[in-house]
Amino acid sequence: MTTHKLIIGDSRKMSELKDRSVHLVVTSPPYPMIKMWDELFRANKCKTYDDMHKWLAGTWKECYRVLVDGGICCINIGDATRTINKEFRLYPNHVRITEICEKIGFRTLPYILWKKPTNKPNAFLGSGFLPPNAYVTLDCEYILIFRKGTLRKFFPHDKDRYTSIYTKNERDSWFSQIWDDIRGVNQSNGLINQRTAEFPEELPCRLIKMFSCINDTVLDPFLGTGTTMKVARDLDRNSIGYEINKDYIDLIKRRVEWGKQHLGKEKVHYEIVIRKRKQSKKI
Ligand SMILES: C[S@@+](CC[C@H](N)C(=O)[O-])C[C@H]1O[C@@H](n2cnc3c(N)ncnc32)[C@H](O)[C@@H]1O
């Protein structure tokens, strides 16, 4: 049996979760300096790039607390370019998050570059074909990978670990640094009147198979439409998702096929907690 718990609340405080109770984090936060997230950051009193990363750091600290020793944290993030006060520059979110996670205590592991296949040539940022004033297009996102402490320990021949084995082809393709075979998804989800920034299922699918075993617990502290939870369930992992926006509840339920049994499995248990200001309500 696997259990899937959706918590509607702010993941900067995951008081529902005990220390060392999660084996893997797979997530994608709101991206600092990307316009679609301006309102959320503004509503949380983040005025500057620094403020935004300080705000997100609250969640990274909690991820560190709840991970088991040897647990892995995978963060999908893109950098941003923006012109402010007539000055165009890069905001390297992946660098900031790496520095912050290292300060928290995480060990940085080699990251993955997710290059979305596209039919379009580079959107040229600059003028004409004359050097030197054009800019390189941001056409990759990062999947940053961190570990809490040293290697995770197992008993010899641990059954769940051996059942979770991947193939040679999977290993050869997934553990290479550039993933250029996963398309992004259409962001205008007809079920909600806003862009969702969801990632394609293949992304959490690979990461969950690479960095967790069946019956482990996978956490997504920025659950969005519920992609990580759905995939974790399909792969026989337990899951926990935090989402701050309660408008997403129906969308997540639909996405996860809430209440439905997993193909051929005996039982799947679903739970929602909607936090009130000072207490949380179970339904
Ligand atoms: C980039 S989206 C995640 C998309 C997700 N990977 C998917 O496939 O749908 C980030 C999500 O985090 C939520 N969020 C932002 N700040 C949060 C916080 N402090 N706690 C919990 N959720 C938060 C946003 O409402 C948004 O749905």
At residue 187, the pLDDT reads: 65
At residue 259, the pLDDT reads: 84
At residue 264, the pLDDT reads: 65
Residue 11 near ligand 1, beta carbon < 6 Å: yes
Rounded to an integer, the average pLDDT of 139-164 is 97
Residue 241 near ligand 1, beta carbon < 6 Å: no
At residue 178, the pLDDT reads: 97
Rounded to an integer, the average pLDDT of 133-146 is 94
At residue 192, the pLDDT reads: 56
Does the pLDDT at position 112 exceed 90? Answer: yes
Cα(173) to ligand 1 centroid in Å equals 28
Does the pLDDT at position 266 exceed 80? Answer: no
Distance separating alpha carbons of residues 111 and 57, to the nearest angstrom: 19
Rounded to an integer, the average pLDDT of 233-259 is 94
Domain ranges of the chain: 2-125+135-282
At residue 240, the pLDDT reads: 98
At residue 212, the pLDDT reads: 98
Does the pLDDT at position 247 exceed 80? Answer: yes
Cα(151) to ligand 1 centroid in Å equals 29
Residue 10 near ligand 1, beta carbon < 6 Å: yes
| 129 pLDDT tier (thresholds 50, 70, 90) | confident
- Residue whose CA lies nearest to ligand 1 atom number 8: 198
Question: If you average pLDDT over every residue of the chain, what do you get?
Answer: 92
Q: Give the residue with greater pLDDT, 128 vs 147.
A: 147
Rounded to an integer, the average pLDDT of 231-248 is 96
Cα(60) to ligand 1 centroid in Å equals 13
| 28 pLDDT tier (thresholds 50, 70, 90) | very high
Question: Residue 245 CA: which ligand 1 atom is closest?
Answer: 25
Q: Per the structure block, which two tokens stand in for 229?
A: 């939870």
Distance separating alpha carbons of residues 261 and 173, to the nearest angstrom: 31
- Residue whose CA lies nearest to ligand 1 atom number 13: 222
Residue 225 near ligand 1, beta carbon < 6 Å: yes
Rounded to an integer, the average pLDDT of 212-219 is 98
Cα(133) to ligand 1 centroid in Å equals 36
Does the pLDDT at position 223 exceed 70? Answer: yes
At residue 85, the pLDDT reads: 93
Cα(4) to ligand 1 centroid in Å equals 17
Q: Which CATH number fits domain 2-125+135-282: 3.40.50.300, 2.40.50.840, 3.40.50.150, 3.10.20.740?
A: 3.40.50.150
Question: pTM for the full model?
Answer: 0.95
Residue 243 near ligand 1, beta carbon < 6 Å: yes
At residue 262, the pLDDT reads: 67
Spell 151-160 as b/e; 16+ CB within 10 A means b.
ebeeeeeeee
